Chain A
């Protein structure tokens, strides 16, 4: 039930409240950023991944506010599974018009995977054929940072990383997200 509700919400917000931009503009802009980072860091792809994650983190910290405003959600997610639903079906839907599939939950409900059937960042992209990029560069790593930043602002500390990418020749693009802890609200000491 909750799942279809999230889908409907995502669909509605995407249709009515979001400004759209040309997809190729996004592809080219993001592609240029990644290519420039690769150049600036002399193809040190580990460092490029880190930088992308950091950029995403800073986007996420602010994007969550936009997300909450646009989706008009006032209620907290009751558990991490619901959070996952909202990320995939509302968050990704309204900002990128994609709905990644949620799978591979661990039994404790603290880790899941998002499988991206399509990735609007990766159209046209072929990784550099220097023999290392295929093994080291996570092209869409900015998304990990966005999730980490956004969830941190709503009291969830998570860790996110890609574990496969079609650009590398894998069958799917899969991101693994693990909940580390809920950041406790730091309440002021009660004065009786």
Chain B
């Protein structure tokens, strides 16, 4: 399972991006995207912004679950109150799952739309959201500015390890 996480500002401008892999089931936390398709992640993620706009008013929730899919790439979305979008692209590992599928089928990530996965991603988003609020409360941060804080990056990484 590989993840690509990005925060998109109110002008559809990227504020933050982070790539990581699963730490569950003995994962080492490294992203295993196909090298040839890796650069497409950004495109896939940003192309789902249209869908975000469609679904964002359909329910009052901040967490919109999986909103888009492109082949094996699933996009989950979380909107903040200030119209900043957290997008997480998750890609189940294609080949490795086959042998031990009975065990993996219940694991986070093997089935991207299962309630367990949704819950795990929700927890991840919630934790990132808390830290995001702290990061933008810094007086030296301005709206829609790229988030460069190393502390924030560490905390996103920690949240990724914890839940995904």
Which size class do B's interface residues fall under?
A: 10 to 19
Binds B, one of A28-36, A96-104, A156-164: A28-36
CB atoms of B148 and A34 under 8 A apart: no
Contact of B140 among A27, A28, A128 (CB under 8 A): A128
CB atoms of B137 and A127 under 8 A apart: no
Q: Which chain A residues border B137 with CB–CB below 8 Å?
A: 24, 27-28, 123-124
Q: Which chain B residues border A125 with CB–CB below 8 Å?
A: 138-140
By beta carbon, the residue of chain A nearest B140 is A128
Task: Name the distance in Å between A45's Cβ and chain B's nearest Cβ.
Answer: 12
Task: Name the distance in Å between A180's Cβ and chain B's nearest Cβ.
Answer: 33
Q: What 5 pairs between A and B have smallest CB-CB spacing?
A: A31-B139, A124-B137, A35-B139, A126-B138, A128-B140
Q: A residues bordering B, Cβ < 8 Å?
A: 24, 27-28, 30-32, 34-35, 38, 123-129
Q: Show 19 A/B contacts (Cβ-Cβ < 8 Å), sorted by A.
A: A28-B137, A30-B139, A31-B139, A31-B140, A32-B139, A34-B139, A35-B139, A35-B140, A38-B140, A123-B137, A124-B134, A124-B137, A124-B139, A125-B138, A126-B138, A126-B140, A126-B151, A127-B140, A129-B148
